[in-house]
Structure 1
């Protein structure tokens, strides 16, 4: 979703895709009913082997597993050269269960909360940073999510599920060259999502960071639970990343779109996964949404499960 170590030069190129604004779809009604996720099953998709999974089955109010997840707190990674996570968002991330906790119904709730004029929220990442396709194979990461139930009252909401290259943890430098895959992000309560890949260099380069990265058009996503997935495939020629919503592919980036060195640095390594809900920032602003007095507090993104699969050749 967005990168943690960028100078605010990345504001216009936020580490999430920032395509040209489009006419807004009709927003969902806050509090709309959401069915249980249709893909919230423990079975691996056909042909894939499950290598990691969290179903968030803890009691209500408990934090996520410390064996699986790390909390990112504050307004940036330690020692990073920019604040606000490099994107202009305004919340402070915490490890409080007011912001990140199980709901007791098999979901993790990541909840932005306004306290006076200040927002807090949650951002967690997997302890493991070695999620990678096997040689000549493919990697699939997926999450069944319900986006925050906001509409016109959700200006500035920015939920996301994304991947960062493991090398970022070595001093929190090197973005966007180390690779970022935004599996899903959404802004302002719009009934839609975006996908993107970030790579190359700043202020611009082969991955078109000035235009927001190698991003998808805005893709419809009705209210309720949906399964979002991305696959990094070493077995195709050229290699590619594919994005899916409820099993339907809606975006692709291939190695043919960039030079060989850029693709290798961005994809030939392990990744860690991130879940978060930001408030404010350049991406929501690009779609006409800035947090203000009418932005509602306390609407969570619910996560039914996160899973990682691999496929051998």
Structure 2
């Protein structure tokens, strides 16, 4: 298994110097030792297929929002998150679309979450989606421990599971990462996967994590590219309690760098479905 350390302030970033290595080293993964996954009889326990009229907000019984800029969300991000349908709405074709928009020197986007609506420990968590792209664009499908706001917990003690994140300037490379006490920031545990002859913004792909007691397996289109076990973690294993789901596009920040004149806006992440199994 290949691990890459990332540099982050709050949740997800990667040291910029690793970009070339990621693209070259993981385009062909270690297939011989990463596909020993037993077949499981998964049962669907929660889902959203995003059916509804064009321009409507996602189901409020399933999704809430983070709003505002909140000091750059700890990562020097530029965007302000909204629940404006221009930034987050159904397209009437069975998709949720999150849109990052540039207004002069300001940016708006959206971050949806199941906090206080749906949480779960263990199972398979997956989304089928098409990413945005471009320098300074940072899409993610991830999870936070539901105890994040409890006294004396916070981040990273709550745990974070990044099922999929990417830097828009490397649209063929995604990462699967965990953050916890003693292995967050530059010590986060991460693995990456690269497409050889395509990009993640050109078609839909299925990103998933299969989470069991003491183990996290990260998948792209059914291929297991990263396995993290309890013994691999140089600190407390904080993946034994419920987490909630999140989807967002950030702009700028310590992971993706900042937009350039070559970054096209608006940028969209189109989500076909999100599903959770046990």
TM-score (norm 2): 0.84
1:1-313 aligned at under 5 Å gives the runs 12-19=8-15, 20-23=17-20, 47-76=41-70, 83-127=71-115, 128-133=117-122, 139-148=123-132, 150=133, 154-170=134-150, 174-189=154-169, 190-200=171-181, 205=182, 207=183, 209-211=185-187, 213-220=188-195, 222=199, 223-234=202-213, 239-258=214-233, 262-263=236-237, 266-285=238-257, 290-310=258-278
More strand as a share of residues: 2
Does the C-alpha gap of structure 1 residues 67 and 162 become closer, same or farther in structure 2, counting only changes over 3 Å? same
Contact 1:53 1:308 in 2 (8 A): yes
Does the C-alpha gap of structure 1 residues 208 and 119 become closer, same or farther in structure 2, counting only changes over 3 Å? closer
CA positional deviation for 1:170:
3.1
Is there any run of 5+ residues in structure 1 with no aligned partner, and where? 1-9, 27-44, 77-82, 134-138
Does the C-alpha gap of structure 1 residues 298 and 55 become closer, same or farther in structure 2, counting only changes over 3 Å? same
Per-residue Cα deviation, 1:260-309 (whole angstroms, up to 9, x for no partner): x710xx11110000000000011112xxxx21333221121000000111
Does the C-alpha gap of structure 1 residues 160 and 208 become closer, same or farther in structure 2, counting only changes over 3 Å? closer
Does the C-alpha gap of structure 1 residues 12 and 182 become closer, same or farther in structure 2, counting only changes over 3 Å? closer
Does the C-alpha gap of structure 1 residues 59 and 117 become closer, same or farther in structure 2, counting only changes over 3 Å? same
Structure 2 match to 1:39: none
State the distance in 1 between where 2:72 and 2:207 align.
26
Is there any run of 5+ residues in structure 2 with no aligned partner, and where? 1-5, 25-38
State the distance in 2 between where 1:116 and 1:209 align.
32
Number of residue pairs matched?
251
CA positional deviation for 1:168:
1.0
CA positional deviation for 1:130:
2.5
State the distance in 2 between where 1:305 and 1:172 align.
35
TM-score (norm 1): 0.75
Residue aligned with 2:64, SS:
strand
State the distance in 2 between where 1:21 and 1:14 align.
19
State the distance in 1 between where 2:255 and 2:261 align.
19
